């Protein structure tokens, strides 16, 4: 299974070890990976160097994943986002439901399962985002 012409993935997480784990996981199957440490940096990275899919943590300093999804979706309605969360103080479901409502294509609970992540990326890349937002 060949990746979609070297799709570019932007990983946004404030934990360096999670970023490098995901980077290795995705580079091994042939994706190009760029990283950001928080939502602010993620938005900057995306504007400078748009990725085909964003994989973002939700609980981060400076700008959390939810704030970042809202901002990027407003600017780039076609953007494809996979949200992940370990939940912090609350159970992850609350954050992940919020992310889904705001337009994340997929949500994953940490710790991240390799096969689940790769499948999520492949499926998200395959989705054709309609030019008009379809009512959910």
pLDDT per residue as tens digits for the range 38-73? 999 999 999 999 999 999 999 999 899 999 999 999
pTM of the model: 0.88
Average pLDDT value for residue range 110-133: 83
CB 124 within 8 Å of CB 107: no
The overall average pLDDT reported for the chain is 89
DSSP string, 37-73: SSHHHHHHHHHHS--SEEEEESS-SSS-HHHHHHHHH
How far is residue 102's CA from residue 58's CA, in Å, rounded to a whole number?
Answer: 12
Residue 58: exposed, middle, or buried by beta-carbon count in 10 A (0-12, 13-18, 19+)?
A: buried
Q: Which helix (H) or strand (E) holds 107?
A: strand 106-109
Q: Pick the range with the lowest mean pLDDT from 7-11, 110-114, 132-136.
A: 132-136
Pure H helices in 50-103: 65-75, 92-101
> Is the pLDDT confidence value at 3 over 60?
no
Per-residue model confidence (pLDDT) at position 89: 60
Per-residue model confidence (pLDDT) at position 93: 75
């Amino acid at each position: 299974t060949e990746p979609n012409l070297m799709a570019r993935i932007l990983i946004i997480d404030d934990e360096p070890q999670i970023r490098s784990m995901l980077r290795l996981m995705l580079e091994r199957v042939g994706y190009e990976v760029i990283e950001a440490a928080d939502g602010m940096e993620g938005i900057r990275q995306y504007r400078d160097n748009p990725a085909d899919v964003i994989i973002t943590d939700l609980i981060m300093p400076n700008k959390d994943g939810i704030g970042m999804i809202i901002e990027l979706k407003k600017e780039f309605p076609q953007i494809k986002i996979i949200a992940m969360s370990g939940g912090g103080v609350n159970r992850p479901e609350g954050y992940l439901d919020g992310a889904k409502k705001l337009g994340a294509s997929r949500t994953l609970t940490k710790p991240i399962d390799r096969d689940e992540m790769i499948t999520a990326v492949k499926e998200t890349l395959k989705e054709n985002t309609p030019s008009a937002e379809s009512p959910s």
